[in-house]
A = this chain, B = another copy of it.
Amino acid sequence: MNPSNHVRIVEVGARDGLQNEKTLLPAEVKIALIDRLSSTGLKTIEATSFVSPKWVPQLADAAEVFRGIRKVPGVGYPVLVPNLQGYQRAREVGATDIAVFTAASEAFNRKNINASIDESIERFIPVMEQARADGARVRGYVSTVLGCPYQGEVPVSDVVRVARRMYELGCHEISLGDTIGVGTPAKARAMLHAVAQEVPMDALAVHFHDTYGQALANILACLEEGVRVVDSAVSGTGGCPYAKGATGNVASEDVVYMLHGMGIETGIDLDLLVATGAWLAAQLHKETASRVTRARTAAA
């Protein structure tokens, strides 16, 4: 294990989680969610996405939500932007933390944005340049790092190349995402190890979906490899657009429970996080996907 005894959780429930939830939440509920999350001790809370409302109706209220949330000093509220237009909308409401998104799979990029991997990265350059000029920080997501719904296997060399390029372009942190949740611990660890040969480990994060139940085991393997930033979503919101009915993001409560049980600090109050997860599940009219929240709220 890396000697550092602290892990930073990047809470992605309000963006990556909600964008795959069918129940549309009003802006005030999203604002309440983020404000509750701000009280738990989380230091990074992804707030929304300035994508086209046509693509993601759930996040059509991005500007209203971002304006409405309490900005707690010391807490970052990154927002996802697909292009310079989205970046400018985000900047208009005062966002200083930005996230951009690409995939390590050629087939995924072709299918989603009709571009090669390299072309998709080129499209970020105007965003990166403007962000540098504005002094905004940019986080880079690399998706499909352990498998792709279209091409199946994704070569590790492609993951390394994409992550290194985003780092070179100025992303301060690269989040390596197993979008469809197919990865297992040895592969996750080998992938992280390969990327860490080209990008400093302290600029890397891991992002697992629990589609096949592997997320916590994968996180453990990556912690052993030295990563210290983990993405997760309170209540395990979301799902998998490639397998309807499947489990979504790994639940923040379950990650924090594991970390605290291992003596790793997160600065997060697990009780408040569980209460927030239970509250969110009620708003979405669904059972929470967090086993910790289910156990804690179960009748004895």
Chain A positions near chain B (C-beta within 8 angstroms): 181, 183-187, 210-214, 216-217, 219-221, 240, 242-247, 251, 254, 257-258, 260-263, 290-292, 294-295, 297-300
Contact = CB atoms under 8 A, between A and B. Distances in A.
Among A212, A242, A262, A300, which residue has the most Cβ atoms of chain B within 10 A?
A212
Given A220-B217, A300-B242, A300-B243, A211 B295 contact: yes
A71 to B, nearest CB: 31
15 contacts: A181-B295, A184-B261, A186-B261, A187-B262, A211-B291, A211-B295, A212-B291, A213-B216, A213-B290, A213-B292, A214-B257, A214-B258, A217-B258, A243-B298, A246-B298
A22 to B, nearest CB: 14
A192 to B, nearest CB: 15
Given A212-B257, A213-B292, A294-B246, A185 B251 contact: no
> What is the total number of copies of this protein in its complex?
2
A100 to B, nearest CB: 27
Nearest to A294: B246
B213 A251 contact: yes
B261 A213 contact: no
A294 B247 CA distance: 8
A89 B214 CA distance: 41
A211 B197 CA distance: 37
A32 B298 CA distance: 32
A131 to B, nearest CB: 36
Contacts of A254: 212-214
